[in-house]
Amino acid sequence: MKKIEVIIRQERLGAVKAVLEKKGITGMTVTEVSGRGRQKGIALQWRAGEYRVDLLPKLKLEIVAKDGDVDKIIRHIARSAWTGKVGDGKIFVSSVEKVVRIRTGESGEKAL
Amino acid sequence: MIVNSGDTAWLLISTALVMLMIPGVALFYGGMVRKKNILSTMMMSFGILALIAILWVLYGYSLSFGPDKGGIIGGLDWIGLRQVGQEPSSVYATTVPQLAFMMFQAMFAIITVALISGAVVERIKFSAFLVFAALWFTLVYCPVAHWVWGSGGLLAKLGALDFAGGTVVHINAGMSALALAMVLGPRKGFKEGEPMEPHHIPMVAIGATLLWFGWFGFNAGSALTSGGLAASAFVATNTAAASAALTWMILGWVHRRPTILGTVTGAVAGLVAITPAAGFVPPLAGIPIGIVASLICYYCSLFRAKRRVDESLDVWAVHGMGGAWGAIATGIFASIAINSAGADGLLLGNGLQFAKQVVGVVTVLVYAFAVTWILGKVVDAVMGLRVKKEEEAVGLDISQHGERAYGGISG
């Protein structure tokens, strides 16, 4: 099993969710996060003059999936989160040792 | 002296309107600080509301308006509201119960002290601020109010005009804010250029709206009667607020974008500037007074930031300098046709009035700055003005008040 962590633009969440849902992937955890990468920050205005905010609001999606589904999921996310401008985000994949469904006590891929 | 019911009704309503400006200040300032300090910022306004309301009826009114002692201060004859009752005074607001006039003036004293808090947010110790506030009220507000508005006060005798508190309230609060911020020092991270991001601008806008609303009582109420003069001051007030809001909005736009923070700040700058002038100038003078107010306050705010002085919420720039401009503008635009108790200004060929206004401005400016500086140093030496480093880091809401504004992760 793999955990796919995805940083995306806030406004792309709907598109990403829709495309994954079509492929039968419904489970995910979404968190509001702040971060920075190549996009740097943005300048905001104070009463007079401005100040720089170098952490921008993004969303982080966490999806745990079967090994065989990972490439497909990545492909769909990359397509649906894409705008082509700096700041589209990143995808991280890592191994997951164990998954347990709290309600039933099932573990492993059955718990996904 | 006969009580006039219309005048009394208007003054009582105006008093309540000015009272609403104090939570207005709390919200206006509260939205501009970081979220860990919003309660402490609001608490300063509410604490002052409670504290100064008591000091005012005990001795403040007497020191400010009591029988004159050498032009400097009022006597203690009216201490604890002795001789202040349902009958009108023979010198102040002679058609309303003196109690109503006394209460109206109480709100001015309260808001002036509350305004200063904007300079020192996010780092001042609450106990020290209250002690400072009581001392400042006694040694700065009361004498200055007496000079300008007290019967026999030295600036009143000179003929310096201040309709609703350009000098007494705004220059006084603004210069004191600057002095206290300089004694206290900047917030941690300020010098390093950490962004001190306002955490809730809608709250700032609501606060500014309450201020604008309450300001009708502040300025039109200062007519102390409910007739034509109140109406004239009312129109001048709204006109100046609008003109200054528009100007600041355009300044932001020229820089990049028209911001709501800037626009509402402009409105406040315009309201400040029209305060001393409202009942002495033609209502349309509110337009130039508002435009120039925003230009002055905008560039003063930029200048202050460039000098890296952490007078955090621009009390000096907006109230101090806006008030100074308003007092001087009174000497330019005043007309005896508007208010027979006033004078003609520079535009009507009376340069002398202009000079008197400048004397009034400089006197209050210097006195407020100097005495506040000394008071700040004294309070700092005796009890420490500033919270501990760790308390500042965790935020004053928790460290000073044991509560937080935006709580709980468990639903």
Q: Is the pLDDT of residue B350 over 70?
A: yes
Q: Are B104 and B8 in contact (CB under 8 A)?
A: no
Residue B402 backbone class (left: φ over 0; alpha: ψ -120 to 50; beta: rest): left
Q: Which residues lie across from A91 on neighbouring strands?
A: A6
Cβ(B222)–Cβ(B279) below 8 Å: yes
Among A45, A51, A52, beta carbon nearest to B262 = A45
Enclosing domain of residue A57: 2-111
Asked if B261 is an interface residue toward chain A (Cβ–Cβ < 8 A), one would say: yes
Chain A positions in Cβ-Cβ contact with residue B251 (cut-off 8 Å): 48
d(CA B77, CA B147): 17
Look up residue A4 and give its two tokens. 């796919």
Rounded to whole angstroms, the Cα distance separating B189 from B196 reads 9
The C-alpha atoms of residue B244 and residue B249 are separated, in whole angstroms, by 8
How many beta-carbon pairs below 8 A join chains A and B?
A: 41
- Give B14-26 pLDDT, tens digit per residue: 999 999 999 999 9
Task: Report how far apart, in Å, the C-alpha atoms of B352 and of each of A6, A99, B296, B316, B359 are.
Answer: 72, 86, 24, 27, 11
Taking alpha carbons only, the member of B306, B348, B339, B303 closest to residue B321 is: B303
**Using CA atoms in the order B362, B366, B369, B374, what is the torsion angle rounded to 10 degrees?**
-170
- Residue B411 is predicted with a pLDDT of 64
Chain B: residue nearest A53 by CA? B195
CATH number, domain with residue A104: 3.30.70.120
pLDDT tens digits for range B11-66: 999 999 999 999 999 999 999 999 999 999 999 999 999 999 999 999 999 999 99
Residues contacting residue A33 through CB under 8 Å, at least 6 positions apart: A7, A57, A58, A59, A60
Closest CA to A26 of A59, A74, A64, A72: A64
Q: Is B194 on the interface with A (CB under 8 A)?
A: no
- Inter-chain residue contact B305 with A44, CB threshold 8 Å: no
pTM for the structure as a whole:
0.93
Q: Into how many domains does chain A fold?
A: 1
Beta pairing, strands B68-69 & A50-53: unpaired
Q: Out of B197, B257, B298, whose CB is closest to A48?
A: B298
DSSP type of residue B167: I
Q: If one looks up domain B5-401 in CATH, what number appears?
A: 1.10.3430.10
Question: Would you give per-residue pLDDT tens digits along chain A (112 residues)?
Answer: 999 999 999 999 999 999 999 999 999 999 999 998 887 788 888 888 888 888 899 999 999 999 999 999 999 999 999 999 999 999 999 999 999 999 999 999 999 8
Interface of B with A in 274-303 (CB under 8 A): 298-299, 301-302
ipTM of the prediction? 0.79
Question: Is the CB of residue B382 less than 8 Å away from at least one CB of chain A?
Answer: no
- Nearest Cα neighbor of B22 from B215, B228, B222 is B215
- Residues B334-347 have pLDDT tens digits of 999 999 999 999 99
pLDDT tens digits along B263-295:
999 999 999 999 999 999 999 999 999 999 999
Whether A45 and B299 lie within 8 Å, measured CB to CB: no
